[in-house]
Copies of this chain bind each other. A is one copy, B any other.
């Protein structure tokens, strides 16, 4: 099923949304990195349902247990297994799904691929699988922070048609993002976003949006020049998040409309390093980090699970009306912010361990 990501910093997630546990194993984390359950819990709490009225009313404590790989608060260099128990199982909600596949969900394709399915329909396709990602990402962040001084901040930059102003990506902090439940640091846009999400909730509908993420203080040299460009690895990781539909690095699709003479990032001395005047490249040139902030955006579709009745078909192709009960988020974006950060951290931790600094480089 390929539940692993990474070549040197390898995460493997496990668990069905309605089974006993969800969790992950992180293999490849260097020894001596400070990791505790509290550190991991902090990011899980940001992903947890029931944080605000904007999110699903499912209330799961999502307490993480570290099973191995850590002793006296430090990593040992051995695999770090961690798990979260599923405490809030309500399989009855999912009974109707045995006859009618949810539109734009993984029910149908999962059943076609595996011939059977977990009770919850899409099984591993559930957003609950991202618990393991966020926990593993918290470990990756520790490594990146301690060994390299890298930090990562993501935020909601659009909900439906509402687009936020771009903040100063060199200064934005997570506490600014978390200051409002919708996780958009532009207070004005955040208000409109909140209203829109509440409207969707009231109408039994859902809405998509965009998350932007910045990764700062990467050294020059991360990423591989051909197939494993840092941008390609980020695209891979982001499109693996449930509901993700698009990815762009730096100027992205807007850059496709530009001329080279305006798009090129001219070089300029920045203290002891060679920097660029603009950052249309999004911190990556030729697939390799260039020392500028890595900035990318991820598009999320509106959640497929809505409570409005849907005129669809059953597995036999007969017309059928689907009325979902369950407990669904009208908008996944606020809770997806720590997931995007986690996936970025996993990619960067792997890239860091794959890079060998050369014995000598051109000094400035």
Query: A-side interface residues toward B, CB under 8 Å?
Result: 1-5, 7, 10, 12-16, 19-23, 25, 27-28, 30-32, 66-69, 71, 74, 76-81, 83, 101, 103-106, 108-119, 122-125, 129, 158, 160-161, 200, 205-210, 220-221, 224-229, 231-240, 242, 244-253, 255-261, 263-269, 274, 276, 280-282, 285-290, 299-306, 308, 310-318, 353-356, 358-362, 364
* Contact call B1/A118, Cβ cutoff below 8 A: no
Contacts of A252 in B (CB 8 A): 245-246, 299
A95 to B211, CA, bound (A): 42
Tell me how far the C-beta of A123 lies from the nearest C-beta in chain B, rounded to whole angstroms: 6
Q: Which of B115, B235, B281, B302 contacts A359 (CB 8 A)?
A: B115
Tell me how far the C-beta of A194 lies from the nearest C-beta in chain B, rounded to whole angstroms: 16
Q: Which of B80, B225, B228, B231 contacts A110 (CB 8 A)?
A: B225
A41 to B118, CA, bound (A): 24
* Contact call B304/A106, Cβ cutoff below 8 A: no
Given contacts A266-B103, A274-B313, contact A4 B13 (CB under 8 A): no
Given contacts A76-B116, A81-B14, A312-B267, contact A290 B103 (CB under 8 A): no
Q: Which of B27, B246, B364 contacts A249 (CB 8 A)?
A: B246
Q: Select from chain B the residue with minimum beta-carbon distance to A356.
A: B30
Known: A104-B260, A267-B317. 14 other contacts (CB 8 A): A1-B79, A3-B227, A4-B10, A13-B79, A16-B69, A19-B71, A21-B67, A125-B225, A208-B255, A227-B240, A245-B248, A246-B249, A259-B302, A260-B305
* Contact call B286/A208, Cβ cutoff below 8 A: no
A31 to B117, CA, bound (A): 9
Contacts of A32 in B (CB 8 A): 115-116, 358-359
A2 to B266, CA, bound (A): 28
* Contact call B67/A1, Cβ cutoff below 8 A: no
Given contacts A104-B265, A115-B32, contact A3 B248 (CB under 8 A): no
Tell me how far the C-beta of A189 lies from the nearest C-beta in chain B, rounded to whole angstroms: 14
* Contact call A274/B108, Cβ cutoff below 8 A: yes
Tell me how far the C-beta of A133 lies from the nearest C-beta in chain B, rounded to whole angstroms: 9
* Contact call A205/B285, Cβ cutoff below 8 A: no
Q: Select from chain B the residue with minimum beta-carbon distance to A219.
A: B112
A161 to B354, CA, bound (A): 39
Q: Which of B114, B226, B274 contacts A1 (CB 8 A)?
A: B226
Contacts of A220 in B (CB 8 A): 108-109, 112-113
Contacts of A5 in B (CB 8 A): 227
Contacts of A246 in B (CB 8 A): 246-249, 252-253, 255-256
Contacts of A116 in B (CB 8 A): 31-32, 74, 76-77, 358
Q: Select from chain B the residue with minimum beta-carbon distance to A290.
A: B109
* Contact call B233/A68, Cβ cutoff below 8 A: no
A289 to B240, CA, bound (A): 14
13 sampled A-B residue pairs with Cβ under 8 A? A1-B27, A2-B226, A7-B7, A77-B116, A106-B225, A106-B286, A109-B288, A113-B358, A115-B361, A240-B287, A245-B248, A256-B299, A269-B317
Contacts of A235 in B (CB 8 A): 232, 235-236, 238-239, 247
